[in-house]
A and B are shown apart, each in its own frame.
Chain A
Amino acid sequence: MSERITRAQIPLSEMTITPGSACQGCGAALAARLAFKALGPNVIRHGIPCCPDSVTKTPRTGTVFEGGGALLTGTSRGLKAIGRDDVKAVAFYGDGGTYDIGFQGLSAAAERNEDVLVLTKDNEAYMNTGNQRSSATPKYSMTSTTPVGPKSRGKPRHKKNVPFIFAAHYVPYVATASVGFPEDLIAKVTYAKDLKGFRMIIIQAPCPVGWRYDPAKTIEVARSGVQTGLWPLYEIEDGQNFKLNYKPKELKPVSEYLSPQRRFRHMTEDETAEIQEDTTTKWDTLTRADELGRLII
């Protein structure tokens, strides 16, 4: 498990080359900045179609949208073949490339326990193509393909629990992180960097455009996602050992997270109550697993 760090321990040197092409206040651009800061120079960054393609002071390689897991595999095996496995194969993919079109290939790479690090910036929709739903989109969220109307309340189903699915591949390390908690994020990337085998960190990356809030509020939104229990921060090792990294005495009500985002503005009180109940139940399970230090998958 990662070790806590303080803000003073965060490296000053930057690995992203900016200004980049992301929108104002983009959570994904911040996720790239923080993660690559922690990784340092000896990595090859892997990309697939998504937004924004933050540029780093490292080489980049890329492939088709559906090929993320395979490309990492190829690089990692290739590096080993040429005797350069000191170089790390690191992905910076979107939720679409992780949860959906690239899911099969990443699952297979996890099953083979490839020596790769997958960083997913989860902005909970296909933002590059204009905010269409993905299986990372939370229930009731309005996107351009789950609009609200007499026959639709936004996305009908819950977000897919991808970190747990990958943990169930019994890989060395799976974690969640958030741009609202940079010390935690950097600690996790730093820790995962030097592990061997398949490692995945899913980073909550609020998107002002798709989530429909003022760009200045990206951190506020990220933080309240964690504080309400909707985006728990945790680590899972070998599919079994579990640790919650952020445990407030009391969770904030989910409405604090939902109401500033206009993607949820159509939600009724009943619907909010449903999300509240669901969140509380899941949080309960997580805290119990944390006490045990174990998950049963």
Chain B
Amino acid sequence: MHGRGGQGAVTASRIIATAAYEEGTYSQAIPMYGTERRGAPLTAFVRLDDVRVRERELVHTPDISIVLDPLIAKQQAVVDNLKPGGLVILNTAHKPEEVELGGDFKVATIDATTIALETLGRPITNTAILGAFAKITGLLKLESIEKAILKYFPGRLGEMNIAAVRRSYEEASDPIQAVVTKAPAEKVDIHVGGYGVLKDVSSWRLLTPEIDVDTCIGCKNCWIFCPETAIEWDEDTMKPSIRYNACKGCGLCANECPVDAIEMVRVEA
């Protein structure tokens, strides 16, 4: 299961494992803990079996790949190690036919971000993809997932998450065989979490800042406050520009712009 820190991939993996346990299936949920920060890509693994799961290693060739994040969903790496004939469930607004991932596997899509925003008010997509998982794989009953959710989120939060799961169950599309046979040439490391300098954090963004230079009054707020130095300043034009590979989409620049010259937009294509 691929996601980004803050989207709840680890919790989602535990909910699946707990739901499976409810149904009498043995399960195991392993998070790959690095130093994941909010926004950084990360992976969690789930094993389901009729017998007790004894191996304690990561899942290297999964049957199913679940992708919580629309930008990570564009990376070939999420399907690269799938078993032949496997399944990938992607959080994206696109139809399965439009997905540009290649290989021998089935593709299903669900717009979990929109569901999460509308039911939870926040882009935490972990539960909003679980309904689709239940429906498409048939591995778990919706009720077991709901029961498991209440264990992790008691009270009102649980109810909201259950609403997200139900909507995702209803809206999930049937999987189709992958249509692209050739993998896209460009490969990005989806495990770019961790310490140190990262190459490209574009996949961290939910929203992307866009500067309207005509409105900009050259106050330098966005430049001085960007934690990632993603805004470059041109002393001649007195205007900023964005280095998108360094931008994590925090929205700080837009928030600090006195004339609203920066807009945070949802770019998915």
B220 contacts A24, CB within 8 Å? no
Q: In the complex, A185→B264 CA distance in Å?
A: 28
Nearest-neighbour CB distance to chain A for B63, whole angstroms, equals 31
Q: In the complex, A24→B198 CA distance in Å?
A: 14
Task: Jot down 18 A-B pairs with beta carbons below 8 A, ordered by A.
Answer: A18-B246, A19-B230, A21-B35, A21-B193, A21-B195, A21-B196, A23-B39, A23-B40, A25-B248, A52-B195, A128-B35, A179-B225, A208-B38, A209-B38, A216-B250, A217-B255, A218-B225, A218-B250
A24 contacts B255, CB within 8 Å? no
Report A-chain residues with C-beta under 8 Å of the C-beta of B227: 22, 25-27, 29-30, 33, 218
B224 contacts A29, CB within 8 Å? no
Q: Is B96 interfacial (CB 8 A cutoff)?
A: no
Report B-chain residues with C-beta under 8 Å of the C-beta of A123: none
B195 contacts A53, CB within 8 Å? yes
B117-140 at interface with A (beta carbon < 8 Å): none
From A222, which residue of chain B is reached at the shortest CB distance?
A: B225
Q: In the complex, A6→B262 CA distance in Å?
A: 23
A16 contacts B229, CB within 8 Å? yes
Give per-residue flags for A167-199: 1 if the beta carbon is below 8 A from chain B beta carbons, else 0.
Answer: 000000000000100100000000000000000
Interface residues of A (CB under 8 A from B): 7, 10, 12, 14, 16-27, 29-30, 33-34, 51-53, 55, 128, 179, 182, 208-209, 214-220
A33 contacts B220, CB within 8 Å? no
Q: In the complex, A29→B250 CA distance in Å?
A: 13
Task: Please pick, from A20, A52, A219, the residue contacting B252 in the complex, using a CB distance under 8 A.
Answer: A219
| Further 8 A-B residue pairs, CB within 8 A, beyond A22-B228, A209-B38 | A18-B230, A19-B247, A20-B196, A30-B225, A34-B224, A182-B224, A216-B255, A218-B250
Report B-chain residues with C-beta under 8 Å of the C-beta of A51: 35, 37
The 4 A-B pairs of least Cβ separation, nearest first, read A216-B251, A25-B250, A24-B250, A23-B38
Q: Is B261 interfacial (CB 8 A cutoff)?
A: no
A20 contacts B255, CB within 8 Å? no
Q: Is B235 interfacial (CB 8 A cutoff)?
A: yes
Q: Is B160 interfacial (CB 8 A cutoff)?
A: no
Cβ-Cβ contact count across A and B, 8 Å cutoff: 107
Task: Please pick, from B6, B198, B233, B256, the residue contacting A21 in the complex, using a CB distance under 8 A.
Answer: B198
In this complex, the member of A22, A34, A209, A214 whose beta carbon has the largest number of chain B beta carbons within 10 angstroms is: A22
Give per-residue flags for B206-235: 1 if the beta carbon is below 8 A from chain A beta carbons, else 0.
Answer: 000000000000001000111111100101
Task: Please pick, from B198, B254, B256, the residue contacting A19 in the complex, using a CB distance under 8 A.
Answer: B198
Nearest-neighbour CB distance to chain B for A190, whole angstroms, equals 15
Report A-chain residues with C-beta under 8 Å of the C-beta of B198: 19-21
Report A-chain residues with C-beta under 8 Å of the C-beta of B230: 18-19
From B201, which residue of chain A is reached at the shortest CB distance?
A: A19
Q: Is B70 interfacial (CB 8 A cutoff)?
A: no
Q: In the complex, A25→B197 CA distance in Å?
A: 16
From A216, which residue of chain B is reached at the shortest CB distance?
A: B251
Q: In the complex, A36→B122 CA distance in Å?
A: 34
Report A-chain residues with C-beta under 8 Å of the C-beta of B225: 30, 179, 182, 218-219
Known: A24-B204, A30-B227, A215-B252. A19 touches B235 (CB 8 A): no
B21-39 at interface with A (beta carbon < 8 Å): 35, 37-39
Q: Is B245 interfacial (CB 8 A cutoff)?
A: yes
A24 contacts B235, CB within 8 Å? no
Q: In the complex, A18→B247 CA distance in Å?
A: 9
A216 contacts B40, CB within 8 Å? no
Report A-chain residues with C-beta under 8 Å of the C-beta of B235: 12
A220 contacts B193, CB within 8 Å? no
A24 contacts B197, CB within 8 Å? no
A216 contacts B252, CB within 8 Å? yes
From A209, which residue of chain B is reached at the shortest CB distance?
A: B38
Report B-chain residues with C-beta under 8 Å of the C-beta of A55: 196-197
Q: Is B62 interfacial (CB 8 A cutoff)?
A: no
Q: Is B5 interfacial (CB 8 A cutoff)?
A: yes
B194 contacts A21, CB within 8 Å? yes
From B234, which residue of chain A is reached at the shortest CB distance?
A: A12
Known: A27-B227, A182-B225. A19 touches B197 (CB 8 A): yes
Give per-residue flags for B146-185: 1 if the beta carbon is below 8 A from chain A beta carbons, else 0.
Answer: 0000000000000000000000000000000000000000
Known: A14-B229, A22-B227. A53 touches B254 (CB 8 A): no
Task: Please pick, from B5, B197, B201, B255, the residue contacting A220 in the complex, using a CB distance under 8 A.
Answer: B255
A219 contacts B38, CB within 8 Å? no
Known: A25-B250, A51-B35. A10 touches B224 (CB 8 A): yes
Q: Is B3 interfacial (CB 8 A cutoff)?
A: no
B224 contacts A19, CB within 8 Å? no
From B199, which residue of chain A is reached at the shortest CB distance?
A: A19
B233 contacts A12, CB within 8 Å? yes
Report A-chain residues with C-beta under 8 Å of the C-beta of B37: 21-23, 26, 51-52, 209
